[in-house]
Amino acid sequence: METRPAPLDGMDHDDGLDEFRVSSPREIQGLLKQLLDGSVLLNLNASDGSVFTSAIWTLDSQRGTIGFNADPADPTMQKLLECDEIVVVGYLDSVKLQFDVNNLVLVHGNRASVLSCPAPHEIFRFQRRNAFRVRPLMRASPMARFRHPDLAEMECALRVIDISIGGCGVFFPEDLPTMSTGVMLAAVRIELDDDTKLEVTMRLQHVTALNAEARGVRLGFEFKRVGGDSLRALQRFIDLTQKRGKLMALT
């Protein structure tokens, strides 16, 4: 399960994220109440990479505040108090919720300590990454094109094996120079079909061996920066591919 924040950095309010954004106060309150009632575990992500796992303890709709379970003895939680903004990530069934909170304050009560802050003004709602992963139809020849990170003069055109809202897998032939895990690739052009072409920045997360006859490996990439239009086009492509897959299963 992907528990890190989705790559929304660099996107402004009008950058194509409206279909993922929940901004209605009533809807926001409803989602927060579901998290509260279900005691859903949430990851509070600090800007320095620190992560504190908690859950919503209190929800005050009149004051417009929320409180997270706190552990004053946890050094990671102490780091959160030093950050101006925290990104909260959690799941309701197959839906990933993400929202920002700020002005986090540790409040000591009679029964427990609470991390209190203003409730978010918007929440982003995504399908869980694994639920969204699809295999493009091979007749469309989906490709990822970029320059090799160690050989700038080498242009790579690799077949896309699968793709999700958070990343993709590509086939890497054994005769190409290898790449190191963690390398960042900028200006990658992903061509999924005639109508879906994306430009993204992505990071190599892992290398997976395929069968002996494959003569190559699978490279798993995480998207680190995706433009709003590209994100919307990718969402549309994944939805359409899922629908086609269901129709093919019925025939």
Domain C-terminal end among 79, 98, 130: 130
**125 & 162 share domain:** no
Task: Report the pLDDT value the prediction gives residue 244, as an integer from 0 to 100.
Answer: 73
Q: What is the CATH number of the domain that holds 193?
A: 2.40.10.220
- Residue identified by tokens 């909260």 is 88
Domain C-terminal end among 112, 130, 148: 130
Task: Report the pLDDT value the prediction gives residue 10, as an integer from 0 to 100.
Answer: 46
**246 & 192 share domain:** yes
In a domain, 225, yes or no: yes
**107 & 161 share domain:** no
**121 & 144 share domain:** no
Three-class DSSP category at 91: strand
In a domain, 201, yes or no: yes
Percentage helix, strand, coil for the chain under 3-state DSSP, each rounded to 5: 20, 45, 35
**237 & 170 share domain:** yes
Q: Which of 106, 43, 102, 50 is nearest to 73 (CA)?
A: 106
In a domain, 10, yes or no: no
The number of distinct structural domains making up the chain is 2
Domain C-terminal end among 83, 113, 130: 130
In a domain, 6, yes or no: no
Expressed as residue numbers, the domain containing 230 is: 133-250
In a domain, 92, yes or no: yes
- Residue identified by tokens 């006859």 is 213
Q: What is the CATH number of the domain that holds 67?
A: 2.30.110.10
**140 & 205 share domain:** yes
> CB neighbours of 94 closer than 8 A, spacing ≥ 6?
127, 128, 131
| pTM, full prediction | 0.51
Taking only the tens of pLDDT, the chain with its 251 residues reads 455 666 665 444 444 566 688 888 988 999 999 999 888 888 898 888 888 888 999 999 899 999 999 988 888 888 888 888 899 998 876 678 899 999 999 998 777 789 999 999 999 987 644 445 677 765 668 999 999 999 989 999 999 998 888 889 999 998 999 898 889 999 999 999 888 999 999 999 888 877 767 788 899 898 888 777 788 888 888 888 877 766 655 55
